[in-house]
Structure 1
Amino acid sequence: MSATPNYELAGELKIGQVGIANLRIQTLDIARLQAEMDDRVKRAPNLFGHAAIVLDFGALSEVPTVAQAQQLIDALRAAGTLPVAVAYGSSATEQLARALNLPILAKFRESFDPSRAGGAATAASAPVPAAAPAAAAAPAPAAPSNDQPGQIHATPIRSGQQIYAAGKDLTVLTSVGAGAEVISDGSIHIYGPLRGRAIAGAQGNENARIFCREFDAELVSIAGNYKVLEEVPQDMRGRPVQIWLQDGQLKFAVIE
């Protein structure tokens, strides 16, 4: 008499939203790329340390050789990050990914491509502008990103949690804890402390904004332009703040 077959899966595979950074290579200067990434990791170790990185060679005139790409991967690993995939670009890019034994992320660059966001850079590759002083008077709040109703989250978002509002604004009625992440294709409104990461305009909406009652964010980003806490003016911390994008730089103002 044969044993009853066990149809229970040993591992359940699900496809979902994941936190991953896209490094768009502007010039194949490996020493410079390593130094830049090393600086990012040192300034924001909780964000970039051991972070998954997608390599995007779309800005280069030609795809690197396997040896060059492997040298870059080794350099980025030495800087403290983990290159895990290659962004889709061409058949040559696909061949390179296969030679490196890395997967291709076919639609990653489409969502964050600067050409779709009026020149906005991706979060991992964007140059970090110097901290700007608070604006004397903040512009009027931006209109909603689209006609869809916003998404409301009523409970605290704790470390390790990620909330994503696709195609709409996100409103958090409580707090976003350290190590937590909120993402929205529109604006983000937080009626409590922001201690984790807030990423607005995730699909390139430069009119998106971030509002919070108490600012202590690990990182804030709008349309791929970001700042970590150490780069934000000291007088913004612990206060109600509005954040918007102007001329490619994040602007901060206390909400009176």
Structure 2
Amino acid sequence: MSAAAMDYEPAGELKIGQVGIANLRIRTLDVDKLVEEMRGRVQRAPKLFLRAAVVIDFGGLANTPDTDTARALLDGLRKAGVLPVALAYGSSDTERLAEALGLPLLAKFRAQYERADGAPETAPPQPAPPRPRETAPDTAPARSAPARAATNGNPGMIHVPLVRSGQQIYADNRDLTVLTAVGAGAEVIADGSVHIYGPLRGRALAGAQGNEQARIFCREFHAELVAIAGHYKVLEDIPKELRGKAVQVWLQDEQLHIAALDTP
């Protein structure tokens, strides 16, 4: 078997930010591999990634790439179907590179999605540590207790009307409960957990400020995308037997898990 066939480690780790902008953190500076990975993501979920705005983050590399290599990566990503719109700030070298490429810097983009040990030295201070975690089970319980509220104890936000295509609902530092449906092309975001009592056809993002204990619950699952603390799955990544079912989504060992909930 060839060395290429044995290489299962992704060259780029993609996370979804609070406002739906993708943050492509470069782990290995292999332009061809990065372009092919992104082309595959676009092909698997064209409605989600085609012509999507992407922030390029070189903070995972020991050295900032030279201008020619960075420009080749940007050109390749555009041909793959996405639109690089900025660099994530990491150092003065990154600042000079952004200037040479004619791209803006997003200085605070990553801070709320990265663990403290992975954040750049210039990142803003992290929030106060949460209370001790409860250990997540290896498999989802048949009927889970309600997920903890966001860290400051704010009452949850309740949204009654249908969340229509193009709408975005955000629960700042609290849980979000949607009493109806989330339509295709709509987005619901919470710093705590997300509870949806109708069909979920759009996107749901929980733990937007990095709370890995947040969960997503919905009564009828058709989501375009679900994410917790930046870790995401798109519909094409989800077993077909879970589609249309009542499910919960949780994060364990940096892996997103989705399982059916028992319903009466």
The CA distance in 2 between the partners of 1:145 and 1:65, in whole Å, is 42
CA contact (8 A) 1:84 1:102 kept: yes
Structure 1 138/26 Cα, relative in aligned 2: closer, same or farther at 3 Å? farther
The CA distance in 2 between the partners of 1:96 and 1:117, in whole Å, is 21
Is the deviation greater in 161-170 or in 141-150?
141-150
- Amino acid aligned to 1:27: T
The CA distance in 2 between the partners of 1:94 and 1:208, in whole Å, is 34
Q: How many residues align?
A: 226
Deviations 1:43-63 (A, max 9, x none): 111111100000111111111
Out of 154, 162, 179, the position equivalent to 1:156 is 162
**Structure 1 residues without counterparts, runs of 5 or longer:** 1-16, 119-132
Matching of residues 32-43 of structure 1 within 5 Å? 32-43=33-44
Deviations 1:113-133 (A, max 9, x none): 233699xxxxxxxxxxxxxx9
Structure number with the bigger relative contact order (C-alpha 8 A, sep ≥ 6) is 1
How much has 1:242 moved relative to structure 2? 1.1
3-state SS of 1:111 partner: coil
- Amino acid aligned to 2:49: F
Structure 1 144/91 Cα, relative in aligned 2: closer, same or farther at 3 Å? same
Specify the alignment match of 1:123 in structure 2: none
Out of 182, 185, 193, the position equivalent to 2:191 is 185
Which has the greater radius of gyration?
Answer: 1
- Amino acid aligned to 2:149: P
Specify the alignment match of 1:67 in structure 2: 68
How much has 1:225 moved relative to structure 2? 1.3
The CA distance in 1 between the partners of 2:19 and 2:211, in whole Å, is 20
Specify the alignment match of 1:253 in structure 2: 259
RMSD value, Cα: 2.0
| TM-score (ref. length: structure 1) | 0.83
Deviations 1:90-128 (A, max 9, x none): 11111111111111111101112233699xxxxxxxxxx
Structure 1 179/206 Cα, relative in aligned 2: closer, same or farther at 3 Å? same
3-state SS of 1:109 partner: coil
3-state SS of 1:244 partner: strand
CA contact (8 A) 2:148 2:193 kept: no
Specify the alignment match of 1:211 in structure 2: 217
Sequence identity of aligned pairs in percent?
A: 63
The CA distance in 2 between the partners of 1:90 and 1:247, in whole Å, is 29
Matching of residues 65-214 of structure 1 within 5 Å? 65-115=66-116, 135=140, 137=142, 140-146=145-151, 147-214=153-220
How much has 1:151 moved relative to structure 2? 1.4
CA contact (8 A) 1:175 1:190 kept: yes
3-state SS of 1:67 partner: helix
Specify the alignment match of 1:53 in structure 2: 54
How much has 1:141 moved relative to structure 2? 3.8
The CA distance in 2 between the partners of 1:152 and 1:96, in whole Å, is 44
| TM-score (ref. length: structure 2) | 0.81
- Amino acid aligned to 1:180: A
**Structure 2 residues without counterparts, runs of 5 or longer:** 1-17, 120-137
Deviations 1:205-228 (A, max 9, x none): 110000111100011111111111
The CA distance in 2 between the partners of 1:218 and 1:117, in whole Å, is 28
